[in-house]
Amino acid sequence: MKLLFAHDFPMIRDTIGNVYSKGAFPYAVWERYLKHFDKMTILGRERERINYNDTSKEIINSLSVSSGPDTNFIGLPNLSSIKGKVINKRNAKLIIDRELKKSDALIARLPSEIGKLAITVAIDHGIPYLIELVGCPYDAYRFYGDFKGNVYAPISMYQTKKIVKNSQYTIYVTKEYLQERYPTKGDQVNISNVNINDINNEDILNTRINSIKTIGDRKLKIGMIGSLNSKYKGFDKAIEYISKLANFNDYEIHILGAGDENNFKEIIRETGMTSKVFFDGTRSSGEEVFKWLDGIDLFIHPSLTEGLPRALIEALSRGCLAIGSTRGGIPELLEEKYLFNPLDEKSFNRSIKNALHSVKSMEEQIYINLNKVKEYTIPQLSQKRDNFIRKFISENKLKL
């Protein structure tokens, strides 16, 4: 039995046949589906190619290996730009049509232009499909930062609402937020798309408690994770707000993520933060990211839009103190006093003050965060996902 997976997944290939991801799609993601399907083909965006040699090893080591047994990757032309939609859509549809004819079922992750197109082709062919809704396309385009994004935001929202409403099987990453914006008439379940193993709370808790007792005697390390090219991540606002905090001088801001650091050159210069902001590049998903998080005291998730942020869940799982914006599914993860309006400086300041109020309050927050993350460990999520996929397979009479 063969599965086709469709998403705007940016594929990075090397010259010897491996496919890589900048963190979100390690091979472990595909193993979720390969428990139920013999083989799967992944449709995504064809991005850069890396020459596999000694000079490229540092770059490759910072990426996650996405390819592995029983997977095949096919790159599609860009459909995310207006030009791409006009010029590339016909060719992309032909590729999707060809691959769907070889497949028994489709899983489409939205928001994504490839995912939406694949669903329309699947409907034409009567091929069963399941949707994973991981974010709000309206907010993603609206906060992208340009006129074209603002114009396309309501169009994409309308298209996604229609597709999800008529879907017979939908997995939401949130408990309430996306369900309210994009309701479905079909079967649904909420399952985050994170990959966190069982947590040894006691070890992490003890390590963190010992660490926070020394915060007043050393530099506070603040961390953020996300693409440097996505304006809706809110890093610029967080840098600006932190630079204005009174009696808050002994700190460093570390940002983990791919993209162009020059996007923040102006805000860093204007705020006098040159010696305080550090870009740490990328890490392969899993242990390398966790090691980085272990060196962070306060994690900030200032996004203008989100589904249910994997980075924030991972930070909580490592015992980080955390604050986050009120957008998307973030309020499902943090208590109200640690939330802030990402466009309001006073709200941001208040949440930092609450997070660092006292050693006792910090200990309490770490304990609460670690307990919250138990809901998002692999054993908890896998059982729900497996049950839902098995139902999808059974009700569509797919051959096991």
> What are the pLDDT digits (tens) for 76-102?
987 776 666 677 888 999 999 999 999
β-bridge mates for residue 19, sequence order: 13
Residue 56 has pLDDT above 80, yes or no: no
- pLDDT bin (cut points 50, 70, 90) of residue 355 is very high
Mean pLDDT on 289-308 = 92
Mean pLDDT on 39-55 = 82
Q: What are the angstrom distances between the C-alpha of 226 and each of 299, 300, 309?
A: 12, 11, 10
Per-residue pLDDT of 174-189, as tens digits, reads 999 999 999 999 999 9
CA-nearest of 224, 195, 197 to 26 is: 195
Residue pair 330/209 in contact by the 8 Å Cβ criterion: no
Share of the chain above pLDDT 70, in %: 95
Q: What is the pLDDT of residue 238?
A: 96
Per-residue pLDDT of 29-38, as tens digits, reads 999 999 999 9
Q: What is the pLDDT of residue 294?
A: 93
Residue 255 has pLDDT above 90, yes or no: yes
Residue pair 234/304 in contact by the 8 Å Cβ criterion: yes
Q: How many CB atoms lie within 10 A of CB 28?
A: 15
Q: What is the pLDDT of residue 246?
A: 73
Per-residue pLDDT of 200-227, as tens digits, reads 668 888 889 889 888 878 899 999 999 8
Q: What are the angstrom distances between the C-alpha of 122 and each of 47, 73, 110, 178, 240?
A: 25, 19, 15, 23, 46
Bond prior to 111 in cis (omega within 30° of 0): yes
Residue 270, judged by CB atoms within 10 A of its CB (0-12, 13-18, 19+), counts as exposed
Find how far residue 355's CA is from the centre of its chain.
24
Mean pLDDT on 130-136 = 95
Residue pair 212/359 in contact by the 8 Å Cβ criterion: yes
Strand ranges across the sheet with 277-279: 277-279, 251-256, 220-225, 298-301, 321-325, 339-340
In whole angstroms, what is the distance from residue 85 CA to residue 379 CA?
Answer: 40
> What domains sit in the chain, N to C, each tagged with a CATH number?
2-195+377-395 (3.40.50.2000), 201-375 (3.40.50.2000)
| Local structure of 240: helix, strand or coil | helix
Q: What is the pLDDT of residue 200?
A: 66
Instruction: DSSP for 216-230, please give it.
Output: GGS-EEEEEES-TT-
Residue pair 285/23 in contact by the 8 Å Cβ criterion: yes
CA-nearest of 338, 357, 362, 358 to 348 is: 338
Q: What is the pLDDT of residue 121?
A: 97
Locate 231 and state its tokens.
Answer: 């304006």
**Residue position matching structure tokens 């910090």:** 362
Residue 153 has pLDDT above 60, yes or no: yes
Q: What is the pLDDT of residue 312?
A: 95
Q: What is the pLDDT of residue 286?
A: 81
Residue 145 has pLDDT above 60, yes or no: no
Helix (H) or strand (E) holding 118: helix 113-125
| Rounded-to-5 percentages of helix, strand, coil across the chain | 45, 20, 35
Residue 314 has pLDDT above 60, yes or no: yes
Chain-wide mean pLDDT for the chain? 90
Measure CA of the first residue to CA of the last residue in the chain; give whole Å: 6
Q: What is the pLDDT of residue 83?
A: 64
- pLDDT bin (cut points 50, 70, 90) of residue 397 is confident
Residue pair 21/62 in contact by the 8 Å Cβ criterion: no
Residue 49 has pLDDT above 90, yes or no: no
Residue 362 has pLDDT above 90, yes or no: yes
